[in-house]
Amino acid sequence: MIHLTYLDLALAAVLVLALGLLSRHLGLGIERPLAWSALRTAVQLSLIGLVLKVLFQHVHPGWVALMGAIMLAAAGREVMARQKRRLAGAWGYGVGFVSMFVSAFSVTVLALLVVVQPEPWYAPQYAIPLLGMLLGNTMNGVALALDRINQGAWQQRGAIEARLLLGADAATAVSALRLEAMRNGMIPIINAMAAAGIVSLPGMMTGQILAGSPPLEAVKYQILIMFLIAGGTGFGTVAAVWLGSRRLFDGRERLRLDRLTGG
């Protein structure tokens, strides 16, 4: 394995700096978010590297569970932050949190117990990367799906209320919007699977090859990860849309857009 120096990382950071300067010259206005995101990337990855080093040296299910809970909590916040309109109050955070817990956590545990079968089954060098990849991709799908159904309910409120007045129940009134939101959430992983190996070499496979693993072994792991991500994203998206759409109506099946915030 070729080890990178801090100078190598600094040279790569020059690209981000150049992009920021170009943004300022063109008036794009993304230089500040770009710089902040780059800084967060460096700091967060450095910290997680130190944490994982400790976890690998002190294997205990409690520490692994705590790390997973922190990752899930952060993912729930990111889901809420990425929506233009979101459910007000704790629901804005809770829907994404619960749907990712149900999907990403269950799929990760299934993969560890049935497919990968490390010893012990909660070994952090397997559990944390698997959970991270599943949460990251499920987070994107859930955020896109929730954003679509909330925005759609706001934009189509007249049509939805008309269906309710004509006797449709809440589920029927938003059924087409639900399906559209679910499809929207699944598009990224479907595109990723369709392009894998032809347009792109996915990250896990690339990392293993760079680390010296045989290409065919890296391919098998990548196929496994892609299928797990597809399952986690799909189940998470369905759960999020189902929970979110139910919250848009009260017990008398009236559309309650006052439960949305943002603009």
Task: Looking at the structure, tell me whether residues 50 and 65 fall in a common domain.
Answer: no
Give, in order, the Cα–Cα distances in Å from 225 to each of 50, 58, 132, 158, 221.
24, 26, 11, 42, 6
Task: Looking at the structure, tell me whether residues 131 and 182 fall in a common domain.
Answer: yes
> Residue 4 has what pLDDT?
78
Q: Region 132-155: what's the mean pLDDT? A: 89
Task: Looking at the structure, tell me whether residues 12 and 139 fall in a common domain.
Answer: no
Residue 222 has pLDDT above 80, yes or no: yes
Q: Identify the CA nearest to 236 among candidates 104, 110, 60.
A: 104
Q: Kindly report, residue by residue over 58-114, the tens digit of the pLDDT.
A: 888 888 888 888 988 988 888 888 778 888 888 888 888 999 888 888 888 888 898
Task: Looking at the structure, tell me whether residues 53 and 78 fall in a common domain.
Answer: no
Close Cβ partners of 239 (under 8 Å, ≥ 6 residues apart): 98, 99, 102, 103
Treating both helix axes as pointing N-terminal to C-terminal, what angle do 61-81 and 124-155 enclose, rounded to 10 degrees? 20
Task: Looking at the structure, tell me whether residues 71 and 47 fall in a common domain.
Answer: no
Where in the sequence is the domain holding 42, given as residue range(s)? Answer: 1-58
* 216 — pLDDT class (breaks 50, 70, 90): confident
Task: Looking at the structure, tell me whether residues 53 and 76 fall in a common domain.
Answer: no
Q: Region 212-237: what's the mean pLDDT? A: 86
Residue at which a domain ends, from 9, 36, 58: 58
Task: Looking at the structure, tell me whether residues 83 and 173 fall in a common domain.
Answer: yes
Task: Looking at the structure, tell me whether residues 39 and 88 fall in a common domain.
Answer: no
Close Cβ partners of 26 (under 8 Å, ≥ 6 residues apart): none
User: Residue 127: how many CB atoms within 10 A of its CB?
Assistant: 25
Share of the chain above pLDDT 90, in %: 9
Task: Looking at the structure, tell me whether residues 112 and 36 fall in a common domain.
Answer: no
Task: Looking at the structure, tell me whether residues 112 and 230 fall in a common domain.
Answer: yes
> Residue 1 has what pLDDT?
64
* 241 — pLDDT class (breaks 50, 70, 90): very high
Q: What would the DSSP string read from start to end of the chain?
A: -PPPPHHHHHHHHHHHHHHHHHHHHHT---HHHHHHHHHHHHHHHHHHHHHHHHHHHS--HHHHHHHHHHHHHHHHHHHHHT-SEEESTHHHHHHHHHHHIIIIIHHHHHIIIIII--SSTT-HHHHHHHHHHHHHHHHHHHHHHHHHHHHHHHHTHHHHHHHHHTT--HHHHTHHHHHHHHHHHHHHHHHHHHHBTTTB--HHHHHHHHTT--HHHHHHHHHHHHHHHHHHHHHHHHHHHHHHHHHTB-TT--B-GGGEEE-
Q: Kindly report, residue by residue over 158-203, the tens digit of the pLDDT.
A: 898 898 888 888 888 888 999 999 998 999 888 888 887 777 767 7
Number of structural domains (the chain) is 2
What residues does 200 pair with on adjacent strands? 196
Q: Kindly report, residue by residue over 10-41, the tens digit of the pLDDT.
A: 899 999 999 989 888 888 888 888 899 999 98
Task: Looking at the structure, tell me whether residues 164 and 106 fall in a common domain.
Answer: yes
Task: Looking at the structure, tell me whether residues 97 and 69 fall in a common domain.
Answer: yes
Per the model's pLDDT, the better-predicted residue between 218 and 144 turns out to be 144
Burial class (CB in 10 A: 0-12, 13-18, 19+), 49: exposed
